[in-house]
Structure 1
């Protein structure tokens, strides 16, 4: 039965970190976005995020956060969550599931320890912004 399950490859859908002004903190802060660089809308996008790793030799884990978007328009991005500075020194994992053309897609995206930084930024597809792409 397992051989009968088709798992399509995720293409042109990304998790990205973008640095933006935050009025509450009066500084630029990092935010995670779901980026849809396809020409079709994503439907029922669900994301579970968490951070984990070592800080000063001690294991640290954040709680899991869950997000859902009924529709993500083509060639656009939706804000997922604020990335607090302390979690940037951990691995940040995003499990993404969505439907595209009546097929379910699923992928794990990870920002490695200290991978979200100014020097790691590049031009992002589909939107006119710079940011860091998760692997």
Structure 2
């Protein structure tokens, strides 16, 4: 029965967009990171990313991390400026304490901009946290 299924609350896990300089292409770009600010490692991390609007939709991208240690972060993907004009969703699923956790993070269209940059947990760079 649905009422018998325990869905644990996801805490101290974040998705952030960070503006970085790419040395190879000599250009500023947005990269999306997964942040584990928990006191424990998370395992079998799956991230499903997609962008969408009423008229456009991106391909669904899937990313996997075997483990993400406590108080660490990992780059998920580069995100093109054109895609930032869409609503972008990141569905994050992982295991911790022998339980499966899942949470959807999103960046609303045009919400990733230099004017909204601030401090981030764990990452020593400035960026924007997804809601």
- Place the TM-score, normalised by the shorter chain, in its bin: over 0.9
Deviation at 1:75, TM superposition (A): 0.8
Unaligned runs of 5+ in 2: none
Structure 1 residue runs without a partner (length 5+): none
CA distance in 2, matches of 1:12, 1:60: 32
Question: Alpha-carbon deviation of 1:24?
Answer: 3.6
The RMSD of aligned alpha carbons is: 1.0
From 58, 63, 66, the equivalent of 2:62 is 66
CA distance in structure 2 between the aligned counterparts of 1:111 and 1:127, rounded to whole angstroms: 18
Q: Once the 2 structures are TM-superposed, how far is the Cα of residue 73 of structure 1 from its aligned partner?
A: 1.0
Q: Secondary structure of 1:113's match?
A: coil
Greater shift after overlay, 118-127 or 82-91? 118-127
The answer for the alignment partner of 2:31 in structure 1 is 31
TM-score, structure 1 normalization = 0.93
User: For 1:11-64, what per-residue CA distance to the aligned partner results, in whole angstroms no more than 9, with x for missing partners?
Assistant: 00011001111134311100011000111111000000000115xxxx010010
Q: Helix, strand or coil: the match of 1:61?
A: coil
Alignment of 1:51 onto 2:51? yes
- Residue 127 (structure 1) shift: 2.5
How far does residue 102 in structure 1 lie from its aligned partner after superposition? 1.0
Aligned to 2:109: 113
Matched, 1:92 2:93: no
- Structure-2 residue corresponding to 1:9: 9
Count of aligned residue pairs for this structure pair: 131
Question: Deviation of residue 114 (structure 1)?
Answer: 0.5
Give the ranges of 4+ consecutive aligned residues of structure 1 lying more than 3 Å apart after TM superposition. none
